[in-house]
Amino acid sequence: MSLGEAGPRGAGVETAANEEPPKVRDLLALLLSRATRLFAFGATSVVLAFHLEKRGFGEAAFGLLVTVTLLGDAALTLALGLFGGRLGRKAVLVGSALFLAAGLVVFALSRDPIVLWVVATIGILSPSGGEAGPATAIEQAALAGVTSPNERPRIYAWYNLAGSVAVALGSKAGGSLTELRDTETVFVGAAVLVVLGSLPLFLLSNRIESSAPPPRVPLAKSRRIVGTLSLLFALDSFGSGLVLQSALALWLRLRFGFAAGTLGTLFFATNLLSAASALLAAKLATRIGLLRTMVFTHIPANLFLLALAFAPNGAVAITLVCLRFCLAQMDVPARMAFVMRAVPEEERTQAAVVTSLARSSGNAMGPLVTGAFLASKSFQAPVILASVVKIVYDIGLYRAFRAHEEEAGRK
């Protein structure tokens, strides 16, 4: 071998070696930031009602504040997602983390109701324990920028696993810390944790940024496909909203008389189970494709949900709930990877924001319908309706994007 041949190959090895550490560093920073943020959301959501009660908020005021919080988070997410591209993903992630931490501290220390209303409106809080604010949409696009299409289902699986475990652990920690100290300690501790989790974000490389400038008109190239996905995702989330964890817990208690402690243990276990199942989904996606993974795992989960409506006793009901949770979240990493693949790189953040908000909107409508059914003692109706709606979504998604999946497979 001549020296001329050895030179380029050596340079290639050196380039690969130089690129790999930043990639690993970027992935670890994004996962750590998400885990600490979701831990904080889990901890504070558990004690939010108790904290506001200490501040003199009644039940009606609490419900209105939660609504205001959700609307404020949605507005902030939409604004930064669609028009914050010129700031850069790193800047938005760091800024939103520090903004969240500041809001948690103010919420902990202030006793002025007006200040609490303002923070709830313009800050980032999570009454449900789930994700809030623009970070998730930005992180999805950033992760897509540092991974290949084949890697994304696996990376998104770990991304969701980290978040789910963090919420579960945070919920436990928030309740325990409140019993030992007070709610103020939980909020301040959550803020400190978010700040610590944000420090690795300062080390993010330029790989997470889009290589092309964001379009002047949002979703100029992918408006049709994102619109179709958003409508379908909203339909699916409406079905999920009919059987939210809190609503399903109420349904199980009314139908079978389960105690709160039993239900708490059940959902703690099922949430961890569903999170772990995402890792299996990533392997499945490499074998049968993203779309088939989304649909072929989702339909059996919804058939278990349909069977739950006709469960003859509590033991069968618990078994069906567990079986459903083994499959119900397997579509999530595949769905994230599918959206990132379906749109141009410069529109990934905008697509993630719009589809995320569509899911949130659909999800918010479900509890209203479920409440009306339960008030009229129609215990089976919301579960049946949820399973039917979600199966219709699965069929619609497969028919709408089967050709797209086949074309992607040929590439």
Nearest to 300 by CA among 277, 276, 327: 327
Q: Residue 214 carries which DSSP code?
A: P
Tens of pLDDT, residues 220-237: 889 999 999 999 999 998
CA 30 to chain centre: 14
- Looking at residue 227, its amino acid is G
Domain 223-410 homologous superfamily, CATH: MFS general substrate transporter like domains (1.20.1250.20)
Express each pLDDT in 55-93 by its tens digit.
Answer: 888 766 766 776 677 777 777 877 776 676 678 889 989
What b/e sequence results for 214-240 when a residue is b if at least 16 CB atoms lie within 10 Å of its CB, and e otherwise?
A: beeebbeebbebbeebbebbbbbbbbb
Say whether 211 sits in a helix, a strand or coil.
coil
Distance separating alpha carbons of residues 340 and 347, to the nearest angstrom: 9
State the CB neighbour count (10 A cutoff) for residue 361: 16
Is there a shared CATH topology between the 16-208 domain and the 223-410 domain? yes
Flag residues of the chain having pLDDT under 50: 1-18
At 5 the pLDDT is 36
Looking at 181-200, list the stretches that DSSP marks H as alpha helix, in order from N- to C-terminal side. 183-198
- Which of 296, 22, 294, 327 shows the shortest CA–CA distance to 153? 294
**Residue 130's pLDDT is what?**
67
Residue 127 pLDDT? 61
SS3 329: coil
How far apart CA 151 and CA 156 sit, in angstroms, is 9
CATH class of the region 16-208:
mainly alpha
Q: How far apart are CA 124 and CA 127, in angstroms?
A: 10
Whether 97 and 194 have beta carbons less than 8 Å apart is answered as: yes
pTM: 0.75
Is residue 155 within 8 A of residue 143, CB to CB? The reply is yes
Percent of the chain at pLDDT exceeding 70:
89
Count Cα neighbours of 199 within 13 Å in the Cβ-side half-sphere. 6
| Measured CA distances, 100 to 61, 125, 195, 204 (Å) | 22, 7, 9, 19
What's the gap between Cα 195 and its chain centre?
20
What are the backbone dihedrals phi and psi of residue 150, each rounded to the nearest 5 degrees, phi first? -70, -25
CA atoms within 13 A on the CB side of 259: 3
Q: List the domain boundaries for the chain.
A: 16-208, 223-410
pLDDT at 324: 92
Q: How far apart are CA 12 and CA 1, in angstroms?
A: 16
Angle of the 135-146 helix axis to the 152-180 helix axis, nearest 10: 140
User: Crossing angle of helices 223-242/348-375, nearest 10°?
Assistant: 30
The rounded distance, in Å, linking the Cα atoms of 156 and 135 is 14
In this predicted model, what pLDDT tens digit does every residue of 257-310 receive, in sequence order?
887 667 777 877 887 787 788 888 888 988 999 999 999 999 999 999 999 999
Answer for the pair 137, 352: CB distance below 8 angstroms, yes or no.
Answer: yes
Give residue 252's Cα distance to chain centre.
Answer: 25
